[in-house]
Amino acid sequence: MADATTSSSLQAMPTKGVWFKKEDHIQLTLAPQEQEVLSRGVESAISDLRTEIGHTDNQAMRQDLQERKGVLLAILDRLRVTA
């Protein structure tokens, strides 16, 4: 684990999905290598969701998948800002 001068903080903000209530949040401190690995994992999940969305005919399921993708895109943006 890196010290405070080389680590990054990521705070998950409330979203309009079902995953967070307004008052819920989390702060995560990552070493640069951990941040890079997490970014790549999120990128992979986004790619998988794009494929799944394209193959989904059920409108409710498609909407849920699109919301998940949106949350992951927001997380990825925050990971890149703190890199």
| 24 found inside a domain | no
The residues, ordered by sequence, that sit 6+ positions from 53 with a Cβ below 8 Å of its Cβ are 62, 65, 66, 69
Tokens 């990054």 -> residue = 8
Give the Å distances, CA to CA, from 26 to 12, 14, 29, 55.
6, 10, 10, 33
Answer yes or no: is 8 within a domain: no
> What pTM was computed for the model?
0.69
Domain count, the chain: 1
CA–CA distance, 26 with 23 (Å, rounded to integer)? 10
Range of the domain at 38: 32-83
Is residue 2 one of the residues assigned to a domain? no
Residue 13 located in a structural domain: no
Domain assignment present for residue 22? The answer is: no
Do the domain assignments include residue 27? Answer: no
Residue 25 lies in a domain: no
Instruction: Give residue-wise pLDDT tens across range 6-62.
Output: 344 554 444 444 455 556 778 889 999 999 999 999 999 999 999 999 999 999 999
